[in-house]
A and B are shown apart, each in its own frame.
Chain A
Amino acid sequence: MTVPVRLFGHRLTLPALIGLIIILVNVAAAVGAPVIAPFDQADIVGDAYADPDPQHVLGLDNLGRDLFSRLVYGARMSIGLALIITCLSFGLGVTAGFAAAVLRGWADVLLSRLVDLLLSMPTLIFAFVVLSVLGTALPVLVVTIAVLDAPKVFRLSRALAMNIGALEYVEVARLRGEGLWWVIRHEILPNAAAPLLAEFGLRFSFAFLFIAALSFLGIGVQPPAADWGSMVRDYRDMINLDAMAPLYPAGAIAILTIGVSFVVDWMLAIHARGQGEGA
């Protein structure tokens, strides 16, 4: 099931192409929200609960705001937040993971045990505990989720660095007298890039679903700011009027996650194949 389109020198599969298109559309909506959205997200443009018409393709919400515009602006919040969280958790996890693999000894033991401990508890529950004291300001949410997610990145990057670190060329570099940071940057990182990129996609999905779940539960993004999760929460009573309103943002969350996992599957398949051929 391949299509004649290439990316990074590999043929795309049909699901990967679909996933890529989904991601591009969403990113475009997030970046170009003010241009794409016909109305501002906070503007009241008509009667509450109005049905769709040519100007308001998805109809109006419980306060008379344009649903489509809010959905487009919601993409900005949801995707932007998830990206920041993923970058942060990657920075933390990869640095700690590589350091543990290269340093070995007590630093490795200490970090690994701490990570085991954090992973022995459901992430959502621990996030609740922390947020109950710290409140739900955006920076708090970002740092909390990133720190709770970093252990998973740590595990993967430590395992990768351990495998690569045992190879001859790394030994050569160390015997040459290169420093720790140089070895990580020039020998380990380039060789760990492909699986780390796939992991980035997975962690993005996780952060994206996690922040949406918190917002849905009312302890994530707070009004007047709105991401897709908090939109589901705002519109949940409209379901009893047989309206589609809460299903749009919830569906948008699902579609983007599916798109990302299609692309991640494709990247993992390439990586597995490349290793199998010894390339």
Chain B
Amino acid sequence: MLRLIGQRLGLGLLTLVAASVLIFAGTEVLPGDLASAILQNTATPESLAELRQELGLNRPAAVRYFDWASHAVVGEFGRSLASHREVVVEIAPRLRNTLFLASYAAIVAVPLAVGLGLMAAIWQGGVYDRAVNFATLLTISVPEYLVGYILIKYFSVRLGWFPSLANVTPDTPLLSRIWLTFLPMLTLVLVVIAHMMRMTRASVLQIMSSPYIEMAFLKGLPKWRVVIRHAFPNAVAPIISVVALDLAYLIVGVVVVEVVFVYPGLGQLMVDAVSKHDVPVVQACGLIFAAAFILLNMAADVLAILSNPRLRHPR
């Protein structure tokens, strides 16, 4: 089992390295380099050459990649082209805010989705079950900003229960932070919950067709007991994988939600940096997002191995 997990971890690390190459290549190999991106229309051949010299763009791409990657490993991403501050200084508070929002949403969404999914499995084929199926189809199609603005319109503008802007500062106390980010959290939860729920239901129902479940029914056990005690433990592995994958999706959703609620997170920073052609910041943010995405995918694999006794105790 350790070998299996080790393999997954190694594969994840390899993917991360490949992703970093991709992020670097994405800004390098393409026509129009960093210097012309910064200068835009004001570029003259002389100013371009000068800026290329200053940014070190004259060195071969491979050399610059290793330079960038070796600094990135210890958290040095250079200076922002727009604000001239250290990229790390710009990113650190933003990353903390994004992690807070994402974990807040995950803590609410995961138990809720698994619970509701189990209920859908127990009342399979009923009105509740069909309503869940329909809701899933809707939320997969509905963009985050529609959900966000509907929530703002009704809960913030009409009812005035929550603020429409999630204006947090580093010294906002935890309780008011939870209140300020309630609507962004709710948006993210609404966007991911249906899929998680449907996958939980599908995993449980697949187990429900096995002979040992029929045996449990024949013993005369009530349905809720069969689902929770007999089917659910064996459905945990696929559910964990789905939850991790949905959380990986949350990372992308968070970018849009941060912009809707003007929340000072990493996604907002990255979007601003893209429109300002601030490549060092974009690269750093991209690497962090990619790392989180790859990490969650890896966690899904490892947890699936750990929760499966057949893989845990190989013969």
Contacts and interface: CB of A to CB of B under 8 A. Distances in A.
A134 B30 contact: yes
A246 B260 CA distance: 11
B102 to A, nearest CB: 13
A272 interface: no
Nearest to A251: B146
B274 A125 contact: no
- Contact size range, B: 35 or more
A242 B153 contact: yes
Interface stretch (A93-101, A155-163, A254-262): A254-262
A132 interface: yes
Interface string B275-315: 10111001101100110011001000000000000000000
B217 to A, nearest CB: 28
A132 B248 CA distance: 23
Contacts of A209: 143
B178 interface: no
A122 B267 CA distance: 13
B143 A217 contact: no
A279 interface: no
B19 A121 contact: yes
B141 A217 contact: no
Interface residues of A, number: 42
B97 to A, nearest CB: 18
A133 B145 contact: no
A262 B137 CA distance: 9
B277 A133 contact: yes
A120 interface: yes
A172 interface: no
A135 B37 contact: yes
Interface string B156-180: 0110000010000000000000000
A56 interface: no
Nearest to A247: B149
A250 interface: yes
Contacts of A122: 248, 251-252, 289-290, 293
Interface string A216-235: 11110000000000001000
Interface string B1-40: 0000000000000010011001100110011111001000
Contact of A250 (B149, B158, B273): B149
Contacts of A213: 143, 145, 256
A205 B141 contact: yes
Given A129-B23, A217-B255, A117 B157 contact: no
Interface of B: 15, 18-19, 22-23, 26-27, 30-34, 37, 137-138, 140-143, 145-146, 149-150, 152-153, 157-158, 164, 248, 251-252, 255-256, 259-260, 270-271, 273-275, 277-279, 282-283, 285-286, 289-290, 293-294, 297
5 contacts: A124-B255, A132-B27, A132-B273, A236-B149, A242-B158
Given A120-B294, A133-B279, A217-B256, 7 more contacts: A117-B18, A128-B270, A130-B30, A133-B27, A247-B149, A253-B143, A254-B141
